[in-house]
Structure 1
Amino acid sequence: MEKTPNNHSGGVCKSTEDCAICLDTIQDKKTLKCFHSFCSVCIDSVFKLKPACPICNTYHGEYTGTQPEGTMTVMRSWQCLPGFKQCGSLVIQYSFPAGIQGPEHPNPGVRYSSTSRTAFLPANEEGEKVLKLLRKAFERRLTFTIGRSVTTGLNNVITWNDIHHKTNMEGGPQCFGYPDPDYLFRVKEELRVKGVTQDD
């Protein structure tokens, strides 16, 4: 004999969802590609400031950051990275001249100094995919920003913007180097959260 489902046993059956923005019952429900749902009016107002899900921070649509003017160049090296012995490496060079902060920066009109950074990827199929994504992130001004340096404590400097790079060839994760078997997966996830994927 089949049991009839009973939604009223042991408490109140809640069939409605609450919006994480207004904390009230969702009105005119809008579900994002990350599967989080909100009131249509609430999420539209959030997206005017930043087109990202307030719950998981996944970007929806193309997002442009506040990276200052600079260049990204790539060279190919025969040197292997630890953990990637069958291929050479990709050497990324980021270079930024000194400048003055614009209206999108923390202190408009204040100078910032020049800087350059070097990063490394394996020259294999996965490394090439990550390189394309990093180039896309750079073009969208997402790779760097201006703010306080975590390492030096200095303000009004060009800093990384939560897309982690390997700035050393060796030394493992603690030295921002290789080997680090999960790095390529992690950086793709960081890029995805900022709306940079192979699909777009």
Structure 2
Amino acid sequence: MANTPNTGGVRKSTEDCAVCLDKIQEKKTLKCRHSFCSACIDSVFKFKPACPICYTYHGEYKGTQPEGTMTVMRSWQTLPGFEHCGSIVIQYSFPAGIQGPQHPNPGVRYSGTSRTAFLPATEEGEKVLKLLKKAFDRRLIFTVGRSVTTGLNNVITWNDIHHKTNMAGGPQCFGYPDPDYLSRVQEELRLKGVTLDD
């Protein structure tokens, strides 16, 4: 029985552990109903408390987002595709700081930044706002690392939860209209363990 996730093997049956690919020893069944060797799943959970099969979180996942603020405002301005309502404006703000042990270069400075994002002021938009607030409180929306857009290191970057940073221009400009955005971002949040149920 291995204590690290297997990356290339194939499970022979549901009686086999998806981590070590051997017959399950000291079976541990998660709330998502997937079963593993107790030692294998304990080892996986040290790195990320999520089921290796369905990615359901078991417990609360905390990220590496630096200290900052999330401010929410309401606007009468409409978003393309949501002309029947106003918009929700989210302002994220982070001061400069020093990377901690959870960041790629502990002790190295990172610069401050601010970002603005937009949601439609609809029932689903309000739901996404609650989820984003929960993700922000769990330090999951941003991290410190290398910027994909600028190539700069030691900067505050998005952490795989996509935001609409423009009101218009469509998906290619990170704006609206984008009819599937609200459902996509809810799935991204779910994969990080952020749901309204927890």
**Aligned equivalent of 2:188:** 190
Select the structure of larger CA radius of gyration.
Answer: 1
> Residues 71 and 94 of structure 1 are in contact (CA less than 8 Å); yes or no, is this contact kept in structure 2?
yes
Q: 1:34 to 1:154 in 2, by over 3 A?
A: farther
Task: Give % identity.
Answer: 87
**Aligned equivalent of 2:145:** 147
Normalising by structure 2, what TM-score?
Answer: 0.90
Counterpart code for 2:60: E
Within 5 Å, give how 1:118-133 maps onto structure 2: 118-133=116-131
Within 5 Å, give how 1:1-200 maps onto structure 2: 17-200=15-198
CA-to-aligned-CA distance 1:11-60 (integer Å, 9 cap, x gap) = xxx76532121121122333334443321221012112221222343322
CA-to-aligned-CA distance 1:75-130 (integer Å, 9 cap, x gap) = 10001111111110000000000000001111100000010100000001110010
Task: Name the CA distance, whole Å, in 2 between partners of 1:133 and 1:177.
Answer: 19
- Where in structure 1 are there 5+ consecutive unaligned residues? 1-13
Task: Name the CA distance, whole Å, in 2 between partners of 1:55 and 1:21.
Answer: 9
- Where in structure 2 are there 5+ consecutive unaligned residues? 1-11
> Residues 83 and 181 of structure 1 are in contact (CA less than 8 Å); yes or no, is this contact kept in structure 2?
yes
Normalising by structure 1, what TM-score?
Answer: 0.89
Shift of 1:175: 0.9
Task: Name the CA distance, whole Å, in 2 between partners of 1:109 and 1:15.
Answer: 47
